[in-house]
């Protein structure tokens, strides 16, 4: 053991109680920091997983039309939306061409055409507004988690029934509908009959209370759009690649292409603000422990002035003295980080087992946590910086002491 | 070659009104294996001189040679290294580190020098404590020893790295007559036996006269 470390340890033991207080502060600070990060990040990643499972990573929608070629599309039954100087022609007129084009992007793992519209669901003499989604089941399960969202009935029954229907759980509850019930959907004044084969729950209110899935041909017939699709939902190899890829796809195919990050920007911002603000709040615990540490070290320097002078006289350099005090900070922060991280892991584990029913933006029956080593690294870095800064000033003060004048001052 | 040589040392202390010319041209030579006393009235500059010789302070004028090395241009770290290897200090107050045992206190200078193994340091510190008559109290903390015992531990610590020169500022000033006598005898015996030089500031004329040589100081100069 180096002499500086030995002396640091002994000096620390002289102020045991004050040091333990600072240590406890750092342990708590680090643990709370990690637990709150694990929890906010847990909710965020669970939200992302949920939303990707519902709406996919990338959506290729309306065709982009420059102003000059506008005349060519007049006369078609597509409406024209104007946004800035760019014109959007709603929907995908030739989904098969587009699917073919997407095949040239190796990063695209799956793509599925969807037709979307509005309809009224009629059952038990009641009416309810829904958004029918006409899907191609075989490919749609590759761009969503529909298969795992089913809570009643089965996709198998749906796939065998051309007029099958998958209902959101909130719709089923509101309309008091069960598997096997027969309902009417009315989109264009010509009600069509469907049979409920499955009920899904995403946990996202907005979806569960208005979206119903039916087969693409049935959807086309219901919505009276014999060709085309509303959009193509696609997945890519990694979620973080979506924005760059979306830009390339948009350029290549001339359709407005939206990555999930852009689509869910508001929620993602809410989560990141939450995470940052909790990090800042919790950091104050560490910060205050740092102040306590500073205080204690200053007391030790004052306390040990004579000892420092005698150490200097027997051959310890200014750097040795400075190291003795930096090491005291180092020892405390090292213990604080180790115990803090252990407490954090225990706390995170316990938290993930606390039952809590969450519905609205996702469905969970317990706290959701994310185990991320970077949370631990982040907490450790904050603690180390705070304590090292807090130790620096007392240690510099100790190193600057003049042994001659101290010994003179205290001897005669 | 002499152990320590000083020439024409001047030192001013204090600022402004309190500024005082504490040393006014001091010069002498210290030879190994001999004991020296600095005697003089209070305020004559004895401590000031001792701190300069111990490289704890820097003269305003004049030179200090340790062996053949002139010290005025050494950096703080170099002066510290010279203290570590060549000098041992004993002060009026012992300054033991109270979180350390007697043995560990004696080992502190050796740890800094770093030339011995842990066991060798331990054995040597133990021997030194035996030499000062504390062989049975090596594991005591400073607070568990009497004033005289603490001062003897401080002497053992000053001897830890076998320094050529032991500098002592009123090492017996805080002790009763018997203990003072004992501590002085110990210092001068060890110096003679080991060929180390002892330079001791003392108010006690009886102890001073038992040294090989006495420097008499008055108003910042050494009387001839
Ligand atoms: N910090 C200071 N500022 C101004 N003058 C000082 C200071 N320290 C000491 N002096 C003066 O320097 C002179 C020498 O002081 P020094 O401590 O060397 O005396 P001394 O011989 O050791 O005295 P004593 O026997 O009382 O210990 C004294 O006149 C003292 O008043
Ligand atoms: Mg004095």
Does A213 lie in the same domain as A325? no
Range of the domain at A203: 57-66+87-259
* Cα A99 to middle of ligand 2, angstroms: 97
Does A227 lie in the same domain as A276? no
Does A369 lie in the same domain as A282? yes
Cα separation, B158 vs B110, in Å, equals 10
The pLDDT of residue B203:
84
pLDDT at A75 over 60: no
The pLDDT of residue A356:
85
pLDDT at A189 over 80: no
Q: What is the largest CA-CA distance in chain A?
A: 110
Cα separation, B31 vs B164, in Å, equals 10
Cross-strand pairs, A358: A364
Mean pLDDT on A212-239: 92
- A73 within some domain: no
The pLDDT of residue B16:
84
Does A240 lie in the same domain as A103? yes
Q: Is A310 on the interface with B (CB under 8 A)?
A: yes
- A124 within some domain: yes
pLDDT of B36-69, one tens digit each? 999 998 889 999 999 999 999 999 999 999 988 8
pLDDT at A68 over 50: no
The pLDDT of residue A78:
53
pLDDT of A286-309, one tens digit each? 999 999 999 999 999 998 999 999
- For chain B, the distance separating the N- and C-terminal CA atoms, rounded to the nearest angstrom, is 23
The 8-class DSSP code of residue A320 comes to H
Mean pLDDT on A172-190: 90
CB pairs under 8 A between A and B: 82
The pLDDT of residue B174:
77
Does A218 lie in the same domain as A284? no
* Structure ipTM over 0.90, yes or no: yes
Cα separation, B38 vs B203, in Å, equals 9
The pLDDT of residue A82:
52
Does A293 lie in the same domain as A151? no
The pLDDT of residue A90:
83
Contacts of A398 (CB under 8 A, 6+ apart): A301, A304, A308, A321, A322, A324, A325
Mutating to test ligand 1, I would choose from B45, B199, B215 the residue with most ligand atoms within 8 A of its C-beta, which is B45
Q: Is residue A204 a contact partner of residue A79, using CB atoms and an 8 Å limit?
A: no
pLDDT at A266 over 70: yes
Contacts of A98 (CB under 8 A, 6+ apart): A60, A92, A232, A253, A255
pLDDT of A54-64, one tens digit each? 999 999 998 88
Query: Helix or strand or coil: residue A271?
Result: helix
User: How far off is chain A from B95, nearest CA to CA, in Å?
Assistant: 6
pLDDT of A101-125, one tens digit each? 998 899 999 999 999 999 999 998 8
Query: What are the φ/ψ torsions at residue B4 (nearest 5 degrees)?
Result: -145, 135
The pLDDT of residue A80:
54
- A292 within some domain: yes
Mean pLDDT on A195-213: 93
Contacts of A89 (CB under 8 A, 6+ apart): A62, A63, A64, A65, A73, A78, A80, A81
- A218 within some domain: yes
CATH of B4-222, one of 3.40.50.150, 3.40.50.10900, 3.40.50.1780, 3.40.50.300: 3.40.50.300
Q: Is residue B218 a contact partner of residue B39, using CB atoms and an 8 Å limit?
A: no
The pLDDT of residue B94:
67
- A78 within some domain: no
Q: Is B32 in the pocket of ligand 1 (CB under 6 A)?
A: no
- A170 within some domain: yes
What mean pLDDT value characterizes chain B? 90
pLDDT of A343-382, one tens digit each? 999 999 999 998 888 887 787 888 889 999 999 999 999 9
pTM: predicted TM-score of the whole model, two decimal places: 0.81
- A167 within some domain: yes
Does A392 lie in the same domain as A279? yes
Does A173 lie in the same domain as A109? yes
Does A330 lie in the same domain as A367? yes
Cα separation, A87 vs A120, in Å, equals 30
The pLDDT of residue A67:
53
Rg of chain B's alpha carbons, rounded to an integer?
Answer: 17
* Cα A162 to middle of ligand 1, angstroms: 108
Domains of chain A: total: 2
Task: Quickly state the pLDDT bin for A168 (edges 50, 70, 90).
Answer: very high
Residues from chain A contacting residue B41 (CB–CB below 8 Å): none
Q: Is residue B30 a contact partner of residue B199, using CB atoms and an 8 Å limit?
A: yes
Q: State how far the alpha carbon of A342 is from the alpha carbons of A35, A40, A42, A267, A346, in Å.
A: 11, 19, 19, 31, 6
Query: Helix or strand or coil: residue A261?
Result: helix
pLDDT of B152-204, one tens digit each? 999 999 999 999 999 998 888 877 888 888 888 988 998 898 899 999 998 88
Mutate to test the interface with B, among A313, A317, A411 (most CBs of B within 10 A): A313
The pLDDT of residue A70:
46
Start-end of H helices in B164-204: 177-194
Q: Is residue A182 a contact partner of residue A220, using CB atoms and an 8 Å limit?
A: no
Does A282 lie in the same domain as A240? no
Domain finish residue from A197, A231, A259: A259
pLDDT of B76-132, one tens digit each? 999 999 999 999 999 887 689 989 999 999 999 999 999 999 999 999 999 999 988
pLDDT at A404 over 90: no
Q: Does the distance separating the beta carbons of A313 and B56 come in below 8 Å? A: yes
The pLDDT of residue A77:
53
Which ligand does the CA of B49 lie closest to?
1
Domain finish residue from A213, A236, A259: A259
Q: Which of A203-207, A328-332, A367-371, B202-206 has the lowest mean pLDDT?
A: B202-206
The pLDDT of residue A366:
82
Mean pLDDT on A159-175: 94
The pLDDT of residue B132:
87
pLDDT of B20-37, one tens digit each? 998 999 999 999 999 999
* CA-B41 nearest atom, ligand 1: 25
Does A61 lie in the same domain as A31? no
> In chain A, pLDDT over 90 holds for what percent of residues?
72
The pLDDT of residue A412:
42
Q: Is B20 in the pocket of ligand 1 (CB under 6 A)?
A: yes
Contacts of A254 (CB under 8 A, 6+ apart): A63, A64
Task: Quickly state the pLDDT bin for A71 (edges 50, 70, 90).
Answer: very low
* Cα A406 to middle of ligand 1, angstroms: 13
> In chain A, pLDDT over 70 holds for what percent of residues?
94
Residues from chain B contacting residue A399 (CB–CB below 8 Å): none
Q: State how far the alpha carbon of B65 is from the alpha carbons of A79, A243, B3, B25, B211, in Å.
A: 101, 75, 8, 15, 23
Contacts of A1 (CB under 8 A, 6+ apart): none
The pLDDT of residue A341:
96
CA neighbor of B23 nearest in space, from B219, B216, B167: B219
In terms of C-beta density within 10 A (0-12 exposed, 13-18 middle, 19 or more buried), how is residue B58 classed? middle
């Amino acid at each position: 053991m180096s002499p500086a470390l030995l002396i640091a340890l002994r000096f620390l033991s002289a102020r045991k109680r004050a040091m333990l207080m600072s240590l406890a502060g750092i342990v708590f600070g680090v643990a709370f920091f990690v637990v709150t990060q694990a929890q906010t990040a847990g909710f965020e990643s669970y939200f992302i997983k949920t939303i990707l499972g519902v709406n996919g990573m990338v959506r290729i929608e309306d065709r982009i039309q420059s102003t000059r070629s506008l005349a060519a599309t007049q006369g078609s039954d597509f409406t024209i939306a104007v946004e800035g100087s760019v014109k959007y022609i709603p929907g995908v007129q030739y989904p098969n061409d587009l699917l073919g084009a997407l095949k040239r992007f190796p990063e695209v793992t799956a793509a599925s055409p969807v037709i979307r519209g509005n309809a009224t669901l009629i059952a038990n003499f009641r009416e309810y507004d829904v958004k029918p989604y006409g899907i191609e089941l075989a490919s749609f399960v590759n761009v969503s988690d529909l298969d795992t969202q089913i809570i009643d009935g089965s996709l198998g029954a749906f796939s065998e029934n051309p007029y099958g229907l998958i209902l959101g759980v909130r719709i089923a509850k509101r309309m008091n509908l069960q598997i096997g019930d027969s309902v009417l959907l009315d989109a264009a004044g010509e009600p069509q009959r469907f049979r409920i084969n499955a009920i899904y729950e995403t946990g996202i209110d907005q979806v569960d209370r208005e979206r119903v899935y039916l087969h693409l041909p049935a959807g086309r017939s219901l919505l009276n759009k014999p060709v085309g699709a509303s959009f193509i939902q696609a997945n890519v190899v990694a979620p973080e690649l979506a924005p760059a890829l979306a830009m390339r796809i948009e350029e290549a195919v001339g359709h407005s292409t939206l990555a999930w990050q852009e689509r869910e920007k508001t929620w993602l911002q809410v989560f990141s603000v939450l995470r940052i603000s909790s990090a800042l709040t919790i950091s104050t615990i560490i910060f205050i422990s740092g102040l306590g540490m500073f205080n204690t070290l200053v007391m030790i320097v004052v306390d040990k002035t004579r000892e420092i002078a005698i150490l200097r006289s027997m051959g310890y350099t200014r750097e040795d003295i400075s190291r003795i005090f930096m090491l005291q900070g180092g020892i405390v922060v090292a213990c604080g980080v180790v115990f803090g991280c252990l407490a954090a892991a225990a706390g995170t584990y316990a938290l993930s087992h606390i039952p809590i029913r969450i519905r609205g933006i996702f469905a969970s029956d317990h706290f959701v946590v994310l185990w991320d080593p970077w949370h631990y690294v982040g907490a450790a870095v904050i603690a180390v910086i705070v304590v090292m800064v807090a130790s620096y000033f007392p240690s510099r003060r100790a190193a600057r002491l003049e042994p001659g004048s101290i010994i003179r001052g205290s001897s005669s | 070659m002499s152990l320590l040589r000083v020439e024409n040392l001047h030192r001013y202390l204090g600022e402004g009104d309190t500024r005082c010319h504490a040393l006014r041209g001091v010069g002498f030579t210290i030879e190994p294996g001999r004991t020296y006393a600095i005697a003089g009235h209070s305020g004559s500059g004895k401590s000031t001189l001792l701190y300069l010789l111990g490289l704890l302070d820097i003269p305003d004028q004049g030179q200090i040679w340790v062996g053949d090395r002139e010290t005025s241009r050494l950096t703080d770290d170099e002066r510290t290294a010279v203290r570590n290897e060549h000098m041992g200090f004993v002060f009026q107050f012992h300054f033991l580190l109270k979180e350390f045992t007697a043995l560990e206190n004696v080992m502190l200078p050796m740890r800094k020098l770093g030339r011995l193994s842990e066991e060798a340091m331990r054995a040597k510190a133990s021997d030194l404590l035996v030499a000062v008559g504390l062989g049975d109290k090596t594991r005591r903390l400073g607070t568990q020893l009497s004033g005289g015992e603490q001062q003897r531990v401080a002497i053992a610590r000053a001897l830890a790295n076998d320094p050529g020169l032991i500098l002592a500022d009123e090492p017996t000033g805080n002790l009763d007559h018997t203990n003072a006598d004992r501590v002085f005898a110990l210092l001068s015996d060890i110096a003679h036996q080991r060929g180390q030089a002892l330079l001791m500031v003392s108010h006690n004329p009886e102890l001073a006269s038992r040294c090989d040589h006495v420097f008499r100081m008055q108003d910042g100069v050494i009387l001839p």
